[in-house]
Amino acid sequence: MCVGVPMTVVTSDDGTALCERRGEQRRVSTLLIGEVAVGDRVLVFIDNAVRLLEPEEARLIDDALDGLAAAIEGRDFEHLFADLIDREPQLPEFLRSQVTPQG
């Protein structure tokens, strides 16, 4: 399975950026999202930055990935999904207008 991970831009040049996540650095293509600045958070999928992330969204993705690893290892993981506890799942905004209420 391939999973996109949040990474932080360390350096950037024409079409690529050196990004870092938890001590690992890799050069990724930024052709899909355009220019990025040092310190930007990007979602990286197969060495391609696919979109910019807000810091809070990057943290939530990191927590979810840590939660999956903890669950697989049999460790406590619920605290890593705190944003999902005690609420109903929500459709993304772009799908909400496509759903018709059933009566």
pLDDT, position 87: 81
Token couple for 48? 């391609």
Arithmetic mean of pLDDT, 68-90: 88
| Helix or strand (DSSP H, E) at 66 | helix 55-72
Question: Percent of the chain beyond pLDDT 90?
Answer: 73
CB 10 within 8 A of CB 17: yes
Arithmetic mean of pLDDT, 69-83: 92
Tell me how far apart the 2 most distant CA atoms of the chain are, in Å.
Answer: 55
Q: CA 71 to CA 57: how far, in whole Å?
A: 21
CB 72 within 8 A of CB 65: no
Is residue 99 predicted with pLDDT exceeding 70? no
Is residue 64 predicted with pLDDT exceeding 90? yes
**Domain 5-53 fold:** SH3 type barrels. (2.30.30)
pLDDT, position 100: 63
- Beta-carbon count within 10 A of 6 CB: 19
Domain parsing of the chain, residue ranges: 5-53, 57-96
Is residue 25 predicted with pLDDT exceeding 70? yes
Question: Average model confidence (pLDDT) for the chain?
Answer: 91
Of 82 and 40, the structure prediction assigns the larger pLDDT to 40
pLDDT, position 29: 98
Q: Is the pTM of this model over 0.75?
A: yes
- Which residue carries 């460790």 as its tokens? 75
